[in-house]
Amino acid sequence: MDEIELVERARNGDERSFALLVRLHERSLFATAYAIMRSEWDAADAVQDALAEAYAKIGALRNAVAFKAWLTRILVNRCYAVLRKRKHDVLTADPPEPEAYTHLGREEGLDLMRAVRSLDLEHREVIALRYFRDMKLTEIAEVLDCPLGTVKSRINRALGRLGSALGSNPFVEVAE
């Protein structure tokens, strides 16, 4: 059964199909929320709220193909809502807490995570949507409600900054 069929079933109230959709998306949703929020507790809270909202509203989703972007938009809005409540978006120097964020990859991944965390919000979010949520440029533009060109330039700039932080900027020879 493919994802569209699961979405169709979930729209008709099938709980198990919704649970399978959650299983398919939970990891990347959490990674995305973490990249945006920089707090695993806030991220978990945002994912939790977003999925509850999605469950409540999925019956009203008109186009099953748009599920991924729709769910992502709910998540991003939840993240924004929490960030708005925070008066100061302060970057802590600490790495992700190991009890909540299990890094299963190579050791270099931790350096990369630190570099992502050090980006400002508009760059963290495009990185997360592009590579954690695996979204097309058009989908990201839709989720963030901004022009395609803006998304593209933010991604390029974010990659440049990550490359610089890690000592190899792929865009260093191109003037911005």
The residues of the shown chain that bind another protein, judged by CB under 8 A, are: 13-16, 18-19, 22-23, 26-28, 30-32, 34, 40-41, 44-45, 47-48, 51-52, 55-56, 99-106, 108-109, 112-113, 116, 127-128, 130-134, 136-137, 152, 155-156, 159, 162-163, 166, 168-171, 173-175
Other beta carbons within 10 Å of 49? 18
Length of the chain: 176
With contact defined as beta carbons under 8 Å apart, do 24 and 133 qualify?
A: no
- Residue 30 Cβ vs another protein, minimum distance, rounded to whole Å: 4
Tokens describing residue 34: 């973490």
| In the complex, minimum distance from the CB of residue 35 to another protein, in angstroms, rounded to a whole number | 8
Least distance to another protein from the beta carbon of 102, Å?
4
Nearer to another protein, 5 or 134 (CB): 134
Cβ-based neighbours of 130, under 8 Å, separated by 6 or more? 137, 140, 155
From the CB of 66, what's the least distance to another protein, in Å?
18
Question: Of 92 and 168, which CB lies nearer to another protein in the complex structure?
Answer: 168
174: left (phi over 0), alpha (psi -120 to 50) or beta: beta
Cα dist from 54 to 21, 33, 59, 82, 118, whole Å: 11, 15, 9, 17, 30
C-beta closer to another protein: residue 56 or 60: 56
Instruction: For the CB of residue 88, give the shortest distance to another protein in the complex, in Å.
Output: 21
